Amino acid sequence: MSDTVIVESRPVFPFTAIVGQDEMKLSLILNVIDPKIGGVLIMGDRGTGKSTTVRALVDLLPEINVVANDPFNSDPLDPELMSEQVRQKFQKGETLEVKKKKITMIDLPLGATEDRVCGTIDIEKALTEGVKAFEPGLLASANRGILYVDEVNLLDDHLVDVLLDSAASGWNTVEREGISISHPARFILVGSGNPEEGELRPQLLDRFGMHAEIGTVREPDLRVQIVEQRAAFDEAPLEFRTNYENSQKALSQKLVEARELLKKAELDYDLRVKISQICSELNVDGLRGDIVTNRAAKALAVFEGRTSVTSNDIFRVIPLCLRHRLRKDPLETIDSGNKVREIFQKVFE
């Protein structure tokens, strides 16, 4: 269990103290509001605060209802998000003990084995006692939470396949010696990496709902501000966090309210048609780009306290939702978003 890192054990840098990197912060916030957006891939230079920002998100994560003493964070009301044991109790009408728990964020260590990620079946116990003895892995802990993969482009291919399967189906299945166990594994997949260390396989790239590009801050004043903040945090982390307590609480409350408001969000039919027209003109494969853009635009509207999506909401999110879906030639670099904005202006003029 030692390599499971639930990022709450040490003081983390406050999210509201992070200067710049608006694309990354917005993408993460929208995924917390609507986890069905499908996660975010953050690519950029070393030392640009990718990991710091993702880990800072932990403070802001809202609480959810989970079934007590269940390693899969089962939802007490949704059978699709329940482990097998909990679902059986639910179907029999048994009372489930419910508790509130903060959405968890699980770090996937680079050297993790497949057993550590997926979980293992105790064959000896299964054969001698006739019970399905399952030791849950990281995917079980990440159910209904966030799975963070730093240096995602260095991840072993077989682990990439495991993540793809789980991200696509929302379930993790472990099979060994004819024994099969499945459990829900619905998580927000957050990956970060440096493009210099290799590109991602197109199949994995497409699985991320959004793609944020992070550059090194060039303005000298901002650089000085960032360096001073980091030094102050390293010197006295708890004291530094106290200065941002109010802004952290305000943002956290805003996220809770946005999640509630999301059910009422509306996206007019003509705007939906224009989103699909942009995807079509950009020759985006499949419909995932259309779906993610619709969801992200609604999440942005409710984050700003509105239930009606505007064309400006779409303009702000569509480059993040489509830029990584445009590449047809493997030698091409990922578009900065200019191509997407050009087609947007053309369709919305």
Q: Please name the fold of domain 5-62+103-214.
A: Rossmann fold (3.40.50)
pLDDT score, position 55: 87
Band of pLDDT at residue 2, cut at 50, 70 and 90 = very low
Options 3.40.309.10, 1.10.8.80, 1.10.510.10, 3.40.250.10; CATH of 262-348: 1.10.8.80
241-245 contacts, C-beta under 8 A, 24 or more apart: 241/11, 241/14, 243/17, 244/14, 244/16, 244/17
Backbone phi and psi for residue 145, each to the nearest 5 degrees, phi listed first: -130, -150
pLDDT score, position 1: 42
- Give the C-alpha separation, 211 to 209, whole Å: 7
pLDDT score, position 5: 42
Residues 183-237 have pLDDT tens digits of 888 898 898 888 887 777 777 787 889 999 887 778 888 888 888 888 999 888 8
Domain ranges of the chain: 5-62+103-214, 262-348
Alpha helices in 170-219 (DSSP H): 202-207
pLDDT score, position 103: 87
Residue, of 201 and 37, whose pLDDT is higher: 37
pLDDT higher than threshold 80 for residue 169: yes
pLDDT score, position 327: 64
Residues 285-337 have pLDDT tens digits of 889 899 999 999 999 999 999 999 999 999 999 999 998 888 655 556 666 67
DSSP state of 75: -
Q: What residues form DSSP beta bridges with 191? A: 41, 149
pLDDT score, position 180: 80
pLDDT higher than threshold 60 for residue 277: yes
Band of pLDDT at residue 51, cut at 50, 70 and 90 = confident
pLDDT higher than threshold 70 for residue 3: no
pLDDT score, position 241: 92
| Closest residue by Cα to residue 65 from 57, 50, 75, 51 | 75
Give the DSSP per-residue string, 256-304: HHHHHHGGG-B--HHHHHHHHHHHHHTT--SSHHHHHHHHHHHHHHHHT
- Point out the catalytic residue in the list 259, 288, 295, 325: 288
Residue, of 346 and 178, whose pLDDT is higher: 346
Catalytic (active site) residue 116: no
What percent of the chain clears pLDDT 70, i.e. is strictly above it?
Answer: 92
The pLDDT of 148-163, averaged and rounded, is: 84
